[in-house]
Amino acid sequence: MLLTNKNAVIYGAGGSLGGAVARALAAEGAAVFLTGRTLSAVKRLADEIRSAGYMAEAAEVDALNKQAVNDHLLSVARTAGTVDVSYNAIGWQDTQNIPLTDMTPADFTRPVSIAMESLFITATAAGRVMMKQRSGVILSLTATPGGIGYPLVGGFGPACCAVEGFSRNLAAELGPYGIRVVNIRSGGSPDSRVFREATDNHPEEMRTVISKLENDTMLKKLPAMQDIANTAVFLASDKANKITGATIDVTCGTVNALNYRTLGVPFPK
């Protein structure tokens, strides 16, 4: 297994993507330390992973609370010996499908603020622990708007760009300590919770939306959550030990293709 004897801390593990990555890391041998603001959600996931024969622990940790994050990481380092992987997958509370010209400042800035504050807290806390070890991998997650102009995504697009820039800069500072920092850029997974719930509530509209998103890609399909999880496993492993300061694009080619999306917003006449 690729991650035997590795210890991974996951923030936002109660979300669908956080959960998918946790399962994949555990299946490759990592002990996963699952955190979230709601203990019941991460406890259910930990129970599921343990019932499959893997190692998992759950803790209630708010990834926007610096003291809580620091205390939990130090506890993991004391009990497990090392913190080898840190992965942040918390939600950003973004508002989309509203033109920027109609959006409120609060709705625009909220995802940028949450994304950057949370990633700064969790990644720098991991960095301080990993610097003493002189090893470790810090992972983050963005989406297509991090690499291409994309309409109707509100503050989510700038948040993605900010996360990718922060990841590069942190990699430059932590590289001399043997720590790798890598971001994963997803294209949006139709099997994720947000897509599934939207499809359940608006099946006809979502079929159109997903079809448009698929048509924007080179492969004419979208990445599943397992594709993102597989990428995280590889990046966390020693097989990727020369990859740092980069964003790994898993958008099925959207970022490298012409991208048109209007969703009913008319072009200027």
Looking at the structure of the chain, the number of domains it has is 1
Residue the block writes with tokens 């807290």: 121
pLDDT score of 257: 62
Identify whether 182 is part of a domain.
yes
CATH number, domain with residue 147: 3.40.50.720
Identify whether 86 is part of a domain.
yes
Identify whether 268 is part of a domain.
no
Query: What's the distance, CA 60 to chain centroid?
Result: 19
Contacts of 125 (CB under 8 A, 6+ apart): 66, 69, 70, 73, 86
Identify whether 262 is part of a domain.
no
**Per-residue pLDDT in tens (0 to 9) along the chain, 269 residues:** 999 999 999 999 999 999 999 999 999 999 999 999 999 999 999 999 999 999 999 999 999 999 999 999 999 999 999 999 999 999 999 999 899 999 999 999 999 999 999 999 999 999 999 999 999 999 999 999 999 988 999 999 999 999 999 999 999 999 999 999 999 999 889 888 888 888 888 888 888 888 888 888 888 899 999 999 999 999 999 999 999 999 999 999 988 765 555 445 454 44
Identify whether 266 is part of a domain.
no
DSSP H or E stretch at residue 8 = strand 7-11
The beta-carbon contacts of 161-165 under 8 Å, at least 24 apart in sequence, are 162/112, 162/115, 162/116, 163/115, 163/116, 163/119, 164/247
Identify whether 221 is part of a domain.
yes
Identify whether 102 is part of a domain.
yes
Global model pTM greater than 0.85: yes
DSSP H or E stretch at residue 175 = none
Residue 242 in contact with residue 208, Cβ under 8 Å? no
Range of the domain at 234: 7-256
Contacts of 56 (CB under 8 A, 6+ apart): 22, 26, 31, 32, 33, 34, 45, 46, 49, 50
Identify whether 167 is part of a domain.
yes
